[in-house]
């Protein structure tokens, strides 16, 4: 599978949601975390992101659309205190 970086993901929850939706829709992808146990997660802290989604270029629009929808829904439904 020839892949490219499609989008960066903010956190593990977002990554899990995106992964679940992509699997459900049979969209080929790889979830890549920036965590490196040798550096105790330093790269995630430096990048300010959890990781990224890698996929074939022809799925880029579908994947970015899914991520945008997840982020819009998250903004519309703030956490209760």
- Per-residue pLDDT reduced to its tens digit, 33-67: 987 666 655 555 566 688 999 999 999 999 999 99
| Closest-CA residue to 55 (of 47, 45, 67) | 67
Give the span between the Cα atoms of 69 and 3, in whole angstroms. 22
Q: Evaluate if residue 22 carries a pLDDT over 70.
A: yes
Residues 54-76 as b/e (b if ≥16 CB within 10 A, e otherwise) read bbeeebeeebeebbeebeeeeee
Give the span between the Cα atoms of 22 and 55, in whole angstroms. 10
Q: Evaluate if residue 25 carries a pLDDT over 90.
A: yes
Q: Evaluate if residue 76 carries a pLDDT over 70.
A: yes
């Amino acid at each position: 599978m020839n892949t490219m970086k499609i989008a960066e993901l903010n956190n593990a929850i977002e990554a899990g949601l995106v992964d679940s939706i992509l699997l459900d829709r049979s969209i080929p992808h790889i979830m890549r975390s920036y965590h490196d146990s040798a550096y105790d997660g330093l790269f995630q802290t430096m990048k300010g992101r959890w990781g990224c989604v890698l996929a074939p270029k022809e799925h880029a629009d579908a994947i970015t659309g899914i991520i945008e929808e997840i982020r819009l829904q998250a903004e519309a439904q703030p956490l209760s205190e």
